[in-house]
Amino acid sequence: METGERFPEQYLLPVSVVSRVMKGHFVRQDLKAGAESVELMRHVLTEFLCFVASEATARARKDKSRKTLQAEDVLFALKRLGFGDYGELLAAFLDKSRREAAAEAEGVEVSSRDGEGEDEGGERDGVGSWNGRLSEPLAALADSQGRASNLNGEGGHVQSAEVEQVVVID
């Protein structure tokens, strides 16, 4: 680990994944992700994950009988840290995923509406099924909440966003 680096390499998201997600959300297809921007994004994402995980862990520790961090802990942390709108969207996504898993376990065929989370070949994308399903709704949510300052009308990708003050809710 070099001087000034906060996280060792083993804790950072893989370069290929971060680069692919970044490239998938560029407004212009001729743009490329420079090595420094990908590396910076890896650190930003790791910091954000630690930030949310710390809050979620604090909540989970209050229940002495539990030893597992649950999705509800993460949703609570997002709300507590001022990302409640995104938490609501993720809660809906979690609910839908749980219903699909339950239906699949019962042997009921579940189809994604409009091929959400799938690429042109009908397969899940390499980044994860959340990529196609959440990126545009998150951009739309940001726009509706006045957070996004510039959205592309074609893909709905956020180009820049205003950072809100973190509000702690007890």
- Between CA 127 and CA 81 the distance in angstroms is 26
Q: Which residues have CB under 8 Å from 15's CB, separation 6+?
A: 38, 39, 42
- Between CA 12 and CA 126 the distance in angstroms is 18
Q: Which of 78, 79, 94 is nearest to 134 (CA)?
A: 94
- Between CA 43 and CA 6 the distance in angstroms is 8
- Between CA 28 and CA 7 the distance in angstroms is 31
Q: For residue 101, what pLDDT is reported?
A: 92
Residues of the chain with CATH 1.10.20.10: 1-69
pLDDT in tens, 78-120: 999 999 888 888 999 999 999 999 999 888 776 555 444 444 4
Task: Answer whether residue 36 shows pLDDT above 90.
Answer: yes
Q: 1-69: CATH homologous superfamily?
A: Histone, subunit A (1.10.20.10)
- Global model pTM greater than 0.85: no
| Greater pLDDT, 96 or 145 | 96
